[in-house]
Amino acid sequence: MASRKPFVAGNWKLNGSVELLNEMASSIEAVSNDQSVDVALFVPALLVGESAKLDVVTGVQTVSEFESGAYTGEIQASLAKELGAKYALVGHSERRHIFGESDDVVAQKFVMAQQQGLTPVLCVGETEQQREQNETESVISAQIDAVIDKLGVAGLEQSVIAYEPVWAIGTGKTATPEQAQQVHQFIRAKLASLDEQIAQRLQILYGGSVNEKNSSELFAQPDIDGGLIGGASLKKDAFISICESAKG
């Protein structure tokens, strides 16, 4: 089994401030100093430059599928890169469900992020209803296939996948470690059937109501390589303790 470095990322969504960023930066530096865990923050786009200047590994929460042009309000991948971003979330369930992004649009964003030198973090996950109807695997497959259709499995080499069951996001209802592991294993096996090496190297993160109490057990699962943390990433002590727990 390939040894994958754990990765913990905070997704601040439409929250946070310059003050919070300053407060977090030195603690993040301290916890990631020994190189045993990758730590990043997906800050609101307006904070990307500030965050990168503080040497925080930084990501944007979405990017436009368009390179440039008359698209008022969009976030330009190349500019995020220029400001120092390393990662871009694509296909977060809030983008899919609130802003109507289809699998195809998400895949175009993935392509654009990668073309501009950002590492895409592809978010996938099923709704509660889809889970109840036994559609978890088919939904996630379609979300991943949309990217593979455009780039081949090789497109996933420089990327990260985050499994975020929609029913667990912001609800306090976490997937059990077994439920999460089952889906992570499914994702890895699906990719392994196309390219074993890529599958073994890929970091697959779990997201959905992760906190400092449940993170160790989740991260101990063999196919869970860390987490994408929403609410708890806005609290310094909780977030740092989650990062610590990923060190194993």
Is-contact 230 13, C-beta < 8 A? yes
Task: Extract the runs of DSSP E, i.e. beta strands, from 12-118.
Answer: 38-42, 58-60, 87-90
Residue type at position 148 = I
Query: Residue 63 — φ and ψ, nearest 5°?
Result: -135, 160
Asked if 26 contacts 57 with a C-beta cutoff of 8 angstroms, the reply is no
CB atoms within 10 A of CB 18: 13
Q: Nearest distance from residue 165's CB to ligand 13P, in Å? A: 10
Site track for ligand 13P across 163-202, x = CB under 6 A: -x----xx--------------------------------
134-161 burial: b if 16+ Cβ within 10 Å, else e: eebeebbbebbebbbeeeebebbeebbb
Does 210 interact with ligand 13P (rule: CB under 6 A)?
yes
CB of 143 to ligand 13P, least distance (A): 15
Q: Which residues fall within 8 angstroms of residue 213, CB to CB, at 6 or more apart?
A: none
**CB-nearer residue toward ligand 13P: 163 or 198:** 163
Shortest reach from residue 227's CB to ligand 13P, in Å: 8
Q: Is 16 in the site for ligand 13P (CB under 6 A)?
A: no
Smaller CB separation from ligand 13P, 232 or 240: 232
Contact by Cβ (8 Å): 179, 219? no
Active-site option among 65, 94, 164, 212: 164
Determine which one of 92, 101, 184, 212 is catalytic. 92
Q: How far is CA 138 from CA 69, 126, 198, in A?
A: 35, 9, 21
Stretch 91-130 residues interacting with ligand 13P (CB under 6 A): 92
Residue 11 makes contact with ligand 13P by CB under 6 A? yes
Catalytic, 92? Answer yes
Q: Which of 6, 155, 165, 207 binds ligand 13P (CB under 6 A)?
A: 207
State which of residues 124, 228, 240, 243 lies at the interface with ligand 13P (CB under 6 A): 228
Catalytic residue flag (residue 184): no
* CB closer to ligand 13P out of 11 and 203: 11
Name which position in 41, 111, 187, 229 contacts ligand 13P (CB under 6 A). Answer: 229
**7 vs 198, which CB is nearer to ligand 13P?**
7
Residue ranges binding ligand 13P (CB under 6 A): 11, 92, 164, 169-170, 207-210, 228-232
Question: Catalytic residues, which ones?
Answer: 92, 164
